[in-house]
Amino acid sequence: MFMIEGVCDWCKQPALLTPHQYLDGKIYCSCKDCYEFACMDVRLYNQEEEAAPFKKIRSDFSSSQRLPTPA
């Protein structure tokens, strides 16, 4: 899971990260410490997006983009 070396998008610390994908296709990475918070964050965001009256591009990103390749 936590296989990407980089900087956590939540705590901004260098760590091993795992990706989270938002409904709009953006991918953010969290470290282990931030994982639960990040999951909650992403879930809430995606719920809001789904509830939004104006649907954004959802079909534009395919499942092939789900995992970024580690640098």
Of 23, 29, 31, 42, the one binding Zn ion by CB under 5 A: 31
Nearest to 65 by CA among 27, 17, 16: 27
Beta strands in the chain (DSSP E): 4-7, 14-21, 27-30
Q: Which helix (H) or strand (E) holds 38?
A: helix 35-51
Q: Decide if residue 27 touches Zn ion (CB under 5 A).
A: no
Binding string, residues 32-71; x marks residues near Zn ion by CB under 5 A: --x-------------------------------------
Of 11, 16, 22, 27, the one binding Zn ion by CB under 5 A: 11
Q: Which residues bind Zn ion (CB under 5 A)?
A: 8, 10-11, 31, 34
